């Protein structure tokens, strides 16, 4: 049974996932960020089938993340490039790669990718910063609140999360007291 899409869901995460499509779309975007742009190279990089690759490239193109450009007439061949909108997903690749390294899920003995500043060559890491103070924040230091575009379902999600958080804090206090 195929699951329903994300149509009508007011959620930026669901929107990005819908634009990417699936795991193959994400791996194609990874390759594009790395600089791979040709069909055969995508196949070699990921092992994806021709049918799936064609479908995912059309999906990414249809969602404005990728543009197709002819580089050869006879036979006609195309390369695929990230659009300005697609380039906005590049930081997601960095974050996923670095989280994967922390979780040691790549299957490699060490980090397969290293991110460095083009200007200085220094290592680059993702992070969150307080916009007022400039201080770095750990993920646990960040609260999530409803934004101006939140719908009723998003408000419900956040309310549920706060209620559960309150329950967890009460349970933790009880454990400490006993």
The pTM for the full model equals 0.83
Asked if residue 2 has pLDDT above 60, the reply is no
H helices of 7-151, where?
12-20, 23-34, 39-46, 50-62, 84-87, 90-103
Asked if residue 3 has pLDDT above 60, the reply is no
Domain locations along the chain: 12-87, 90-126, 127-166
Is the domain covering 12-87 a CATH 1.20.1050.10 domain?
Answer: no
Query: Residues 83-93: what's their mean pLDDT?
Result: 95
Q: What percent of the chain has pLDDT over 90?
A: 79
Query: Residues 116-130: what's their mean pLDDT?
Result: 94
Query: Residues 144-164: what's their mean pLDDT?
Result: 91
Our CA dihedral for 137, 139, 140, 141, rounded to 10 degrees, sits at 30
């Amino acid at each position: 049974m195929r699951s329903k899409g994300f149509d009508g869901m007011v959620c930026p995460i669901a929107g990005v996932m819908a634009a990417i499509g699936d795991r193959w779309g994400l791996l194609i975007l990874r390759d594009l960020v790395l600089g791979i742009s040709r069909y055969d190279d995508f196949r070699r990089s990921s092992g994806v089938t021709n049918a799936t690759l064609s479908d995912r490239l059309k999906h990414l193109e249809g969602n404005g993340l990728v543009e197709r450009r002819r580089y050869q007439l006879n036979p006609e061949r195309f390369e695929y490039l990230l659009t300005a909108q697609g380039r906005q997903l590049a930081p997601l690749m960095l974050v996923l790669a670095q989280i994967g390294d922390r979780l040691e899920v790549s299957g490699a003995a060490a980090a397969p990718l290293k991110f460095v500043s083009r200007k200085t060559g220094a290592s680059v890491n993702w992070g969150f910063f307080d916009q007022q103070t400039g201080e770095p924040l750990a993920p646990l230091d960040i609260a999530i609140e409803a934004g101006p575009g939140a719908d009723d379902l998003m408000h419900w999600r956040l309310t549920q999360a706060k209620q559960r958080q309150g329950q967890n804090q009460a349970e933790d206090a009880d454990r400490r007291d006993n």
